[in-house]
Structure 1
Amino acid sequence: MRRHGPDFKKEVVELAQCPACRGKAVIKGVFHDLACVQCNASGWVVAATGEELPVDELVTQLSLRLQVAQRQINELKHPRATGPEVIYQDNNRRGAGGSNRTLD
C-alpha cells in the first residue's frame, strides 16, 4: 500500500528512562553535572531500542504522555457516579420546574 504525506494520527512511541543518567538528564562530571549525550539531555529513550529521540519528536512524545496523564488526573479528581448513585447525582429534569425527581 502506498502512502503519501504525513500520518493522520501521530504514533505513540513507548519511552523508557535513559540507562546512562537514570532519567535525570544529567550525569556527574568531575566538578559539575554534564548533559547526558545518550538521551539528548531529556532522560528518555525509545524503550524498544534504547536510542535517543530527535528533539522535535521528543517534544511531541512527551506532550502526548502529558495529555494522557492530565486526563487520568481529571478523571481521579472528578469520578463519575455509577449504579444507583447516578439517579441522585445527575438532574433528570423530571420534577416540577425541571428539577430532579428521584421517585423515592
Structure 2
Amino acid sequence: MRKSHGPALKKPMIDLAQCPECRGRAVIKGVFYELSCDRCNASGWVAAATGEALPLVELVTQLGMRLQVATRQVEQLRATRATGPTLAYQESNRLGAGGTNYTGD
C-alpha cells in the first residue's frame, strides 16, 4: 500500500443494510403513534459492517452515490435494443397505411 498525504481522491462506498430495529421503515410503532427510529437516525439504513447509524452528512453522500448507480443501471436497461422478430413490432418501419408500422400479420 502506497503512502499518501491528504484526503482520498475517491469517496468509498460503504455497504448499507436495513436497520434491524425499524426494518428500513425509519419509524417504530409507539403506543399511540409512530416514532422516528433513534438507532438509524430515522433513515432506515445502518452501516452493514458495524450496525451503527451513519452521520447524516455521510448518509446523504452514500445514498446519493447509490442513487447514481441505480439510475445508470436503469438507463442501461432502457437502452437495450430489441433484436430479431421483436424489432419489427417495437420500431416503426413506416410501410403500413399512412406511414404506420406494418408487421405482415
Runs of 4+ more than 6 Å apart: none
Q: Aligned to 1:34, what secondary structure does the other structure show?
A: strand
Deviation for aligned residue 1:3: 3.4
**Separation in 2 of the partners of 1:15 and 1:45?**
6
| Alignment partners' CA distance in 1, 2:8 and 2:16 | 20
Q: Report the residue type matching 1:58 in the other structure.
A: L
TM-score (ref. length: structure 2): 0.72
**Map 1:88-103 → 2, pairs under 5 A:** none
- Distance in 1 separating the partners of 2:31 and 2:4: 50
For each residue in 1:19-52, what CA deviation from the matched residue of structure 2 results, as whole angstroms up to 9, or x when unmatched?
0000000001111111100001000000111010
Identity of aligned residues (%): 65
Matches within 5 A, 1:63-74: 63-74=64-75
Q: How does 1:1-104 map to 2 (within 5 A)?
A: 2-79=3-80
How many residues end up aligned between the 2 structures?
82
C-alpha RMSD over aligned residues: 1.6
Q: Which runs of 5+ in 1 are unaligned?
A: 83-104
1:5: Cα distance to partner? 2.3
User: What letter corresponds to residue 69 of structure 2 in structure 1?
Assistant: V
TM-score using structure 1 length:
0.73
Segments of 5+ residues of structure 2 without an aligned counterpart are: 84-105
